[in-house]
């Protein structure tokens, strides 16, 4: 069950979702894999990790364990990136991951591996043996590089800088590093050296030379022998670059490629190195499949094939930043593809959260504020792991229900006072403080980042009512407390040493000076033990007592900020009255509180002037007497009296915008009742086009209204206006707000062009138009209006489509009818100008009956055959055929049978007469019925015949009505 106040909050939140700004961390640059030489010259590695938001990433982990950067002299951070000095293969090899966070939550980066490339063994290989080959024979020269990624290969012929040039006869595999020569020629004889380049470290090493020696005999020609080909199964990652190699030995073959599915290659696919390399950039799902390489020469051909498929996980569906209100339910689903099928897990701020997971979907029921944060969907298989992140913002207006200010806070003069402002709100609220009715400027106060107000070395000038106001885009809340500054209590007359005779009575004095706002109590001790005056009343007695309550307190005169009071004294109870304290209360204060007077009210005064009152507030006053013993009982309250004044507070948060065509909408935050200062309160709205001098004014006399709409056909759409709002009451006008800039309604100013329409069927028309170019006004979508009679455009139907779509289908139309159509863009101000009308005619039902109807009757079974009906261009497509049976006996029965074939088999009763008719059906209605076939009482008869039929499409009720009107005799 949802309480009414929560429903109101949720409704107010729903209307403000468009204003939500998601500010959780986002990856600008996530870590990438690194391959480093073991003996790097600078002995330093940087793993880059940059995030949007503040502060930058703070945590790094290696192989799942948090790195203690404070106690690690080799590793430190710079702007979020991890810098590792004095690299160590054993300690630094592994998978790194960084965490980014801010006040909205935290996210994990993808994992990045750090590996070390060791090419030293390649340098120290022994002398390579010569390779003997016949002229015309194919040969493979092995490179034998170390096993790690990030290498590129080339070959030197005889001496540097003469590199082997690849062509249709020579090929260097970037997978194996080997050199392939399809058909050796005498010019190929020489020394071949393999060059290995580390593409990451730019390190280069050379193998020992391999001599190629030509034998005396010559090799005959043979069919291509494919030596370089890709595996049967090629793993690929989404958006990666996939390269397939294919090369054959033998009389120089021609290499060609194809997909076994027959789908042609898109333009992005490139053939390189005489078609020896097929390159697929930005690999996508539609690129997966089986690829075939064919090598062909004059002696024959051979082929090799393999399948490219996604192995590493890649996203098919991810979640997006979402804002929901309290108690709503969250459902997020992410989907990934990969081989094997990925498994899913979910993280909240980098850890497992209050979630329910099923088949990769996350759900949270009845959201609360603690559910806000950064969420990540993690998809993983044995080939890799991927992360997708989104922010969940659980929205609520500010509330001080759990952390209000204390109604009354007393502080000693000279001390430090802390007033906390801790509203619950999402997004976090912006806070400001008011002292009385004045907003405290940040230059005047010490305001901590969390909204706490600190006042050091307080004095009586700091005594006031303080209000913390918290606001976000979903609402405003405030909490108020009164700060009372008191002077220290001190004893002005104390007991002194005395010598007395046993049996005599003595009086020991005790007089104090204290702040009037403090309640004082007295206690006595004898030899350090408190005296119990009730138990020892025969020996100890208090002398004197607090005064009685004053009486007849009345307000003689009242203004906007002062009140003149008078009263009669009460009993002094044996101790002269030394002064009076004036107290007051209003509907906006918590209990009675001391009020200010220009001078101290001594015991001889029976009148006083109260100052510092708020205008247009209802007050009550009472008086408390004080003597040397303490404060007495308060007087009865005076009659309620209201102060008056013209408004002294202007409306805040003046803004507006939106509205419908030719409107200027102005909004503001209403002035609270306690600041309206008098009867007859209302608002004055002033506005003018930007750049002009003269203000237009309007008056609203309703206090609760916070919106004004000015309508005028001359207002241009999306035009800026200067706007200000003031307040008034019966005593005069108050100040105006500061000037705000507000735009008039943003009605689209141009009509769509190139509007076209075509009839899809008897009940549907497709409308297409050209999207509007960029205009100052927003376009939220398009509206299509249509009508039947061009002389009566009032009979209009409308279809709206939101977004930047430029096609819509209008359904539910009449068959064979001319429709006129026009298109307009729309936004919050409504539709803009309409395009010029166009017209099109809906299709009609098929106008022909089925032909060449053949029927055969054997026993009680009737078999029917007929030719199909083909619809004309202006007719709806035939969707089937309808057999209508009228059973002729005492009561006529009509049955219908629908089929999409051109044959039917019916089982008839032998005791009835029948009329049978066939009609074609379409989405535009029914066609013409055939001539009825008459079947008389069968009695086991056999027979056959021919007739001509046609199409129909009606509901059973309409068919029954139609046939009864034709056949019922």
Rounded Cα gap, residues 477 and 400, in angstroms = 7
CATH topology of domain 314-395: Immunoglobulin-like (2.60.40)
Give me the helices (H) in 793-850, please. Answer: none
State pTM to two decimals.
0.44
**CATH code for the part of the protein at 652-744:** 2.60.40.10
pLDDT at 858: 83
Instruction: Give 144-165 pLDDT, tens digit per residue.
Output: 877 666 788 999 999 888 899 9
Burial annotation 409-420 (CB, 10 A radius, 16+ → b, else e): eebeeeeebebe
Domain 26-117 has CATH 2.160.20.60: no
Q: How would CATH label the architecture of 851-935?
A: Sandwich (2.60)
Q: In this structure, what are the phi and psi dihedrals at residue 851, rounded to the nearest 5 degrees? A: -110, 165
pLDDT at 203: 75
| Strand arrangement, sheet containing 179-181 | 139-141, 179-181, 170-172
According to DSSP, residue 639 is labeled: P
pLDDT at 147: 67
Q: How would CATH label the architecture of 225-309?
A: Sandwich (2.60)
659, 797, 813: which is closest to 721 by C-alpha?
659
* 125: Cα separation from own chain's centroid: 60
**CATH homologous superfamily, domain 131-217:** Immunoglobulins (2.60.40.10)
- The dihedral over CA atoms of 806, 811, 814, 815, expressed in degrees to the nearest 10, equals 80
| Residue carrying structure tokens 């107010």 | 12
346, 349, 394, 351: which is closest to 370 by C-alpha?
394
Which regions in the chain score pLDDT beneath 50?
1-18, 939-942, 948-969
- The secondary structure of the chain in percent helix, strand, coil, rounded to multiples of 5, reads 5, 45, 50
CATH of 753-842, one of 3.40.190.80, 3.40.630.30, 1.10.3720.10, 2.60.40.10: 2.60.40.10
DSSP letters for 289-311: EEEEEEEEETTEEEEEEEEEEE-
> Are the C-beta atoms of residues 31 and 110 closer than 8 Å to each other?
yes
In the chain, where are the structural domains located?
A: 26-117, 131-217, 225-309, 314-395, 400-486, 525-643, 652-744, 753-842, 851-935
pLDDT at 938: 52
Matching CATH topology for 400-486 and 851-935? yes
**In whole angstroms, how far apart are CA 664 and each of 308, 366, 473, 660, 807?**
60, 39, 21, 9, 32
**CATH code for the part of the protein at 525-643:** 2.60.40.10
Antiparallel, parallel or unpaired: β 696-700 and 112-117: unpaired
**CATH homologous superfamily, domain 400-486:** Immunoglobulins (2.60.40.10)
């Amino acid at each position: 069950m949802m309480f009414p106040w929560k429903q109101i909050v949720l409704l107010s939140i729903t209307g403000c979702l468009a204003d939500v700004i998601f500010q959780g961390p986002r990856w600008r640059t996530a870590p990438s894999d690194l391959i480093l030489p073991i003996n790097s010259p600078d002995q330093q590695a940087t793993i880059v990790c940059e995030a949007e938001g503040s502060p930058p990433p703070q945590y790094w982990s290696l192989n799942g364990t948090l790195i203690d950067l404070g106690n690690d002299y080799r590793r430190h951070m710079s702007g979020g990136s991890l810098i590792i000095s004095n690299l160590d293969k054993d300690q630094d090899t592994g998978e790194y991951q960084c965490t980014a966070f801010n006040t909205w939550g935290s996210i994990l980066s993808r994992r990045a591996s750090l590996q070390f490339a060791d090419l030293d063994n390649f340098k120290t290989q022994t002398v390579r043996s010569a390779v003997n080959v016949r002229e015309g024979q194919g040969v493979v020269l092995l490179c034998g590089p170390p096993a790690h990624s990030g290498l590129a290969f080339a070959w030197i012929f005889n001496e540097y800088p003469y590199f082997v040039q690849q062509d249709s006869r020579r090929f260097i595999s970037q997978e194996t590093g080997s050199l392939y020569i399809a058909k050796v020629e005498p010019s190929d004889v020489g020394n071949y050296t393999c060059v290995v380049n580390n593409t990451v470290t730019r390190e280069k090493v050379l193998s020992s030379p391999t001599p190629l020696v030509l034998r005396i005999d010559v090799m005959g020609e043979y069919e291509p022998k494919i030596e370089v080909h890709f595996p049967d199964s090629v793993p690929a990652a989404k958006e990666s670059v996939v390269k397939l190699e294919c090369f054959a030995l033998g009389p120089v073959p021609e290499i060609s490629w194809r997909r076994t599915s027959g789908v042609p290659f898109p333009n992005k696919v490139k053939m390189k190195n005489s078609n020896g390399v097929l390159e697929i950039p930005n690999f996508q799902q539609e690129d997966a499949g089986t690829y075939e390489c064919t090598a062909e020469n004059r002696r024959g051909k051979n082929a090799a094939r393999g399948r490219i498929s996604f192995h590493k996980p890649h996203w098919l569906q991810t979640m997006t930043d979402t804002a929901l209100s309290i108690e709503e339910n969250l459902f997020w689903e992410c989907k990934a593809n990969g081989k094997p099928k990925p498994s899913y897990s979910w993280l909240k701020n980098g850890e497992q959260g209050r979630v329910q997971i099923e088949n990769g979907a996350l759900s949270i029921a009845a959201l609360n504020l603690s559910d806000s944060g950064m969420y990540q969907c993690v998809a993983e298989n044995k080939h890799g792991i991927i992360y997708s992140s989104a922010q969940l913002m659980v929205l609520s207006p500010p509330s001080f229900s759990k952390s209000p200010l204390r109604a009354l806070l007393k502080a000693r003069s000279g001390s430090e006072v802390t007033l906390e402002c801790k509203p619950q709100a999402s997004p976090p609220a912006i806070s400001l403080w008011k002292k009385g009715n004045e907003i405290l400027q940040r230059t005047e106060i010490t305001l901590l980042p969390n909204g706490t107000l600190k006042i050091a070395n307080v004095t009586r000038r700091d005594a006031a009512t303080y209000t913390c106001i918290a606001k976000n885009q979903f609402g405003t809340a405030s909490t108020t407390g009164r700060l009372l500054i008191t002077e220290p209590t001190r004893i002005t007359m104390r007991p002194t040493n005395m010598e007395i005779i046993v049996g005599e009575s003595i009086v020991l004095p005790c007089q104090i000076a204290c702040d009037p706002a403090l309640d004082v109590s007295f206690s006595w001790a004898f030899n350090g033990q408190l005296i119990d005056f009730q138990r020892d009343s025969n020996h100890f007695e208090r002398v004197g007592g607090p005064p009685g309550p004053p009486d007849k307190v009345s307000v003689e005169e009242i203004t906007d900020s002062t009140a003149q009071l008078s009263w009669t004294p009460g009993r002094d109870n044996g101790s002269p009255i030394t002064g009076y304290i004036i107290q007051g209360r209003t509907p906006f204060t918590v209990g009675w509180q001391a009020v200010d007077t220009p001078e101290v009210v001594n015991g001889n005064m029976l009148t006083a002037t109260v100052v510092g009152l708020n205008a247009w507030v209802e007050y009550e006053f009472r008086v408390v007497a004080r003597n040397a013993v303490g404060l007495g009982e308060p007087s009865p309250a005076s009659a309620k009296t209201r102060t008056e004044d013209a408004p002294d507070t202007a409306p805040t948060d003046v803004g507006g915008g939106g509205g419908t065509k030719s409107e200027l909408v102005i909004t503001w935050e209403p002035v609270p009742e306690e600041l309206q200062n008098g009867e007859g309160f209302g608002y004055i709205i002033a506005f003018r086009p930007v750049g002009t001098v003269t203000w237009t004014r309007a008056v609203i006399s309703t206090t609760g209204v916070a919106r004004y709409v000015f309508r005028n056909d001359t207002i241009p759409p999306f035009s800026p206006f200067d706007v200000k709002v003031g307040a008034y009451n019966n005593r005069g006008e108050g100040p105006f707000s500061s000037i705000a800039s507000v735009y008039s309604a943003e009605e689209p100013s141009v009509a769509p062009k190139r509007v076209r329409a075509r009839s899809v069927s008897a009940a549907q028309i497709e409308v297409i138009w050209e999207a509007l170019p960029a205009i100052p006004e927003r376009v939220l979508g398009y509206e299509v209006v249509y009508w039947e009679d061009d002389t009566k455009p009032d009979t209009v139907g409308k279809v709206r489509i939101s977004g930047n779509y430029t096609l819509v289908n209008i359904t539910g139309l009449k068959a064979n009818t001319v429709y006129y159509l026009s298109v307009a863009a729309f936004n919050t101000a409504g539709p803009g100008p309409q395009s010029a009308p166009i017209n099109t005619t809906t299709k009609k039902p098929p106008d022909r009956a089925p032909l060449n109807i053949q029927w055969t009757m054997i026993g009680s079974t009737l078999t029917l055959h007929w030719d199909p009906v083909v619809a004309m261009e202006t007719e709806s497509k035939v969707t089937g055929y309808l057999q209508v049976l009228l059973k002729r006996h005492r009561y006529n029965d009509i049955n219908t049978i629908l089929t999409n074939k051109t044959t039917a088999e019916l089982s008839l009763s032998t005791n009835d007469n029948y009329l049978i008719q066939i009609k074609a059906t379409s989405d535009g209605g029914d066609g013409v019925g055939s001539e009825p076939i008459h079947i008389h009482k069968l009695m086991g008869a056999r027979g056959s015949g021919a007739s001509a039929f046609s199409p129909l499409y009606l509901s059973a009720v309409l068919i029954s009505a139609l046939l009864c009107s034709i056949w019922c005799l």
